[in-house]
Structure 1
Amino acid sequence: MKQQRPANARAVTDGIKLHRHPVRSLGGVRTVITLRAGTRVRFSTNRFHGTWHVLSDDRGARLLARLLWGLSYQARPGTVVLIDQRFVAPNPFDADPADPIVLVPGWCTRVDDQVAGGLKSRLSLSNPDGTVRWRTFGLDRALEPEAFEGWWDRYRGGEGNGRVSRRRGLLVLTPGSPDEARAWALHAARLDTANRYGTDYVYLGPWDHGYDGEIQVFRRFRPMLSVAARARAQVLSRPDAPTDPHSLRSAIWQEAEHVRGDAHLRIREWRGSAYALGAEAAAMLSQAGVSSLDDLADVGASEAYRRMRAAGVPGLDREMLWAMEGALTYRDRRSISAERRRELLDELGEDPTPGPVRRRRYRAPVRPVRSAPASRWGSS
Structure 2
Amino acid sequence: MTDPHQDGREKLTGMTAYNGLKLHRRTLRLDGRSYTVLGLRPGTAERFAVNEFHGTWHVVTHRAGALLLGSLLWGMAHQRAQNTVLVVDRPFLDTNPFDAEPSPPIVIAPAHLAPFGDRAARELRRRLPLSTPSEGTVRLRTSGYAEALADTQAWFRNRPPRHFHGYDERHRRPVIGVRAGLLVLPGTAEWLREWAVEIGPLDPARPGAASGLGMVYDCIHTDFSLEVQVFDNYHDRVTAARLAREQLESDPAAPKDPDSLHPLVWDRGTTIHTRMRRNRTARQPRSAPRTTP
Q: What's 1:163 paired with? A: 175
Q: Over residues 207-229 of structure 1, what are the superposed CA-to-partner deviations in whole Å (9 max), with x where a residue is unaligned?
A: 3xx32111111110101110000
Q: What's 2:153 paired with? A: 149
Corresponding position: 1:247 with 2:260: yes
Q: 1:179 aligns to what SS in structure 2?
A: helix
State whether residues 17 and 145 of structure 2, in contact with CA within 8 Å, keep that contact through their aligned partners in structure 1.
no
How many Å separate the matches in 2 of 1:137 and 1:249?
Answer: 42
Q: Residues 270-285 of structure 1 correspond to what in structure 2 (within 5 A)?
A: none
State whether residues 109 and 185 of structure 2, in contact with CA within 8 Å, keep that contact through their aligned partners in structure 1.
yes
Corresponding position: 1:236 with 2:249: yes
Corresponding position: 1:223 with 2:229: no
The 3 A distance-change label for structure 1 pair 27 and 187 is farther
Corresponding position: 1:197 with 2:213: yes
Q: What's 1:16 paired with? A: 21
How many Å separate the matches in 1 of 2:73 and 2:273?
Answer: 35
State whether residues 19 and 132 of structure 1, in contact with CA within 8 Å, keep that contact through their aligned partners in structure 2.
yes
Which one of the candidate residues 30, 43, 67 is aligned to 2:48? Answer: 43
State whether residues 78 and 108 of structure 1, in contact with CA within 8 Å, keep that contact through their aligned partners in structure 2.
yes
State whether residues 58 and 219 of structure 1, in contact with CA within 8 Å, keep that contact through their aligned partners in structure 2.
yes
State whether residues 30 and 124 of structure 2, in contact with CA within 8 Å, keep that contact through their aligned partners in structure 1.
no
Q: 2:176 aligns to what SS in structure 1?
A: strand
Q: Over residues 66-116 of structure 1, what are the superposed CA-to-partner deviations in whole Å (9 max), with x where a residue is unaligned?
A: 111111112332000000121111100110111010000012212122100
Corresponding position: 1:100 with 2:105: yes
* TM-score between the two structures when normalised by the length of structure 2: 0.81
How many Å separate the matches in 2 of 1:257 and 1:191?
Answer: 23
How many Å separate the matches in 1 of 2:145 and 2:219?
Answer: 19
Q: Over residues 113-157 of structure 1, what are the superposed CA-to-partner deviations in whole Å (9 max), with x where a residue is unaligned?
A: 210011111113231110011111110111222xx3332024485
1:203 alignment partner AA = C
Q: Return 5+ residue gaps in structure 1 as ranges.
A: 1-6, 263-314, 316-355, 360-380
The 3 A distance-change label for structure 1 pair 57 and 17 is same
Q: 1:24 aligns to what SS in structure 2?
A: strand
Q: Which entry has the higher C-alpha Rg, 1 or 2?
A: 1
Q: What's 1:140 paired with? A: 146
Q: 1:238 aligns to what SS in structure 2?
A: coil
How many Å separate the matches in 1 of 2:160 and 2:258?
Answer: 41
How many Å separate the matches in 1 of 2:101 and 2:180?
Answer: 17
Q: Offset of 1:38 from its aligned partner?
A: 2.5
Q: Offset of 1:9 from its aligned partner?
A: 8.4
Q: Residues 1-380 of structure 1 correspond to what in structure 2 (within 5 A)?
A: 8=7, 13-28=18-33, 30-125=35-130, 126-145=132-151, 148-155=152-159, 158=162, 159-160=169-170, 161-175=173-187, 177-194=188-205, 195=209, 196-205=212-221, 207=222, 210-261=223-274
Q: Offset of 1:358 from its aligned partner?
A: 5.4
The 3 A distance-change label for structure 1 pair 153 and 88 is same
Q: Offset of 1:26 from its aligned partner?
A: 3.8
Sequence identity percentage: 38
The 3 A distance-change label for structure 1 pair 52 and 108 is same
Q: 1:85 aligns to what SS in structure 2?
A: coil
Q: 2:110 aligns to what SS in structure 1?
A: coil
Structure 1 runs, 4 residues or longer, greater than 2 Å off = 7-13, 24-29, 148-151, 154-160, 356-359
2:149 alignment partner AA = L
The 3 A distance-change label for structure 1 pair 248 and 65 is same
How many Å separate the matches in 1 of 2:176 and 2:30?
Answer: 24
2:180 alignment partner AA = R
* TM-score between the two structures when normalised by the length of structure 1: 0.63
Q: 1:30 aligns to what SS in structure 2?
A: strand
1:222 alignment partner AA = H
Q: Return 5+ residue gaps in structure 2 as ranges.
A: 1-5, 10-15, 163-168, 284-293
